[in-house]
Structure 1
Amino acid sequence: MTVLVNGTEIVLSGTVGDLYWDECFTASDVILALAQVGRGQDVTIRLNSGGGIATEGAAIHSAIAAHGGRKTIVVEGIAASAASVIAMAGDDVVMSPGALMMVHDPSGFTFGTVDDHEKQITALTALATAMAGIYAEKTGKAVNEVRADMRAEIWMTPEEAVSGGYADRVLTRASGADPEPQPTAFDYRLFEHPPERLVALSDRRAWTNRARSAAASPAIPPRLTEKPMATEPAGNGPALPHNPSAALAAVVDGPRADASSTTLARADAAEIAKLCVDGGVPAMASTLLAEGVTVAQAKERIGAAGQINDLVALARRKDPTLPAELGATMLAEGKTVEQARSVLFDKLVAAEEKTAVSSHVPADGKGDPTARIVGHYRAATGAKPRAA
């Protein structure tokens, strides 16, 4: 099990994203773990990962950043590549003595025409820019400085990570404490400039072929492949199986009739968590799972959340003074789409009336601010007139 929840502490170890043959953790796993800790609870996340799928790392970063409590991320062993992106979500990023952090450019492989390769270049450039924004926000560096670090593939000791702004402090271990954590299993030869001790460790512990051992897997380039892998292979090949982490049981397990019902419950929980991530509302996962909703009910709620967020965005185009977090506030209050429309309607009318130059209302009603905003709002949102 690569995700462990113990009270307000979460342990994440292994590869970032489900690559089918390694021990791993996914965004769904992390969302479920955070839900078990509790939305507003402070949390300590112990991270030990050589990286994996870049976009999965970004999704996990977003899920942790959206958590309501204070986040302390302790890098134990290593946080490289996509795992270093995850580490940036911490309010307090702590390096264990002897741990390593690495940042570099995402990479991928392409098979196809010139157009296919050009699309890959565009995708990797956009991904690198997004990752640089995450690093820059944490470190306080300019984006171009971070991009230079990424291109150079820098490996940092705890002190170097703190000096560079990628971490906040080095953990002080008490005498007699447990031995320093070792880097998690990974083929570190896939990187461009890995420390010799990691390469030797990979050889000594037979980690060197882990990333190439899956039957019918595509060839992996010299650097770590971070291009998100498809859930279905190209062409007519068989779909690769997905094995949800056993950590899902920590959130959804209760008295079960049999093993098959447990498997179904875990699969539903994982699907609900993924729906929340894909719908742009990762924080909703803990609420939906706590309520025990079905996948169908979750889809309906997530769809309604999307509509509310769209309505808020539309209203803010008319009145930019409306708070950007208004949608999240109404969702937390459990408002329906119709109730959200009503709230926005009232706020827009109030704002229009405040800015009206004259209180005189012409007979045709064209100068009536309320009538004007009603017309705009109904036309934009399809809202129906409310009964007097």
Structure 2
Amino acid sequence: MTQEVMDYTKRFPEDELPGNNQALHVYSSSSIGLTRPLFKDYLLKFVINLGIKPKNHLHIDNMFASVTSRIALQTRSTLAQRFYTTGAGVNTLLYVEHKDGAISGATLNALTAAKKLGGSVTALVAGDAPEGVAQQVAKLEGISKVLSAKNTAYANSLPEDIAPLLVEAQSKFGFTHLVTGHTAVGKNIFPRAAALMDVAAISDITGIESEDTFVRPIYAGNAIATVKTNDKIKVVTVRGTAFEASSATNDAGVSEEEAPSAETLSVTQWIGEEIQKSDRPDLGSAKRVISGGRGMKNGENFKMLYDLADKMGAAVGASRAAVDAGFVDNSLQVGQTGKIVAPELYIAVGISGAIQHLAGMKDSKTIVAINKDADAPIFQVADYGLVDDLFKAVPELTEKVSK
């Protein structure tokens, strides 16, 4: 900075500078009588505190002109308008989904979204033996504290028991945001927690505009809505494919403490689960996915896709039509009511391209469609298309990949 600007900044004592966790509010002179010179002074001390060093008075004037231009576009003269925010007052609770001692990928995506909100992020780990997962979470970068809730009632993430736990944690610590992945577990728990707190649940967000404004798909992904909420508590589920998984770690770790106790209703009983083990990649996180539709004609023909998938190191998916027809298990369903995927390569075989299916895979980096119907809607979103009989094309493709 020049001496001229340094002299200018000396007029503001250090303790009068706005803090990094404060927001700068812009007021018009007609609302509270704040004159342009005074606002210019306030703007200067604000940007200096953020580490921005004006080169000279011309630089200051240019910043001031830019700000006042935005004010003219965004607000009427009688209103106050927030111009800059750094996560002031944001205090987020991240619900950690885990299985067999491992943190779910969706939780790592949700952590990235939580960090984007600004402020502090506290993680909640619930289970019958949460200690190991809590230690892993404590070392994730961006986590400021870990709450651990140990109870056999939490072993299987039953929503009737987890939702009251979230409410108690929010009540004790005053969280402004509750965040988790938009998974089967998250979709089951968070709307219940929102209802208990009498606020709206905002689901499947793909973007964050500010601490109270979010972006989410609607109409099966055919439109994008920007949603602003006035609720003091924001309850949000995050689409995993829209945010990179948080991978950075903090070797020092953070503090862990016991979560507040909550009543366990025990109105639902866990009976059991049947897990199909596979050497193929997980459908939700695979880099390559091959999906079949009603055009496969029956479940036995899906063996063609399994063979190709094994050669390519891909996961196998299916359209809702194939699942409803009983060709494959519903755990393979890709679409609005199934899994949302965004692999590097998505191959759609015998899939017409219903809106519900496109909503679950349209964010894939490269889409390849194989269908004998040249007018199938899937070709409208495909990067590469092959109009051919799949029963000839798929075996030939498998043979080529094998060489």
Q: TM-score, normalised by structure 1?
A: 0.26
Higher relative contact order (CA 8 A, sep 6+): 1
More strand, by proportion: 2
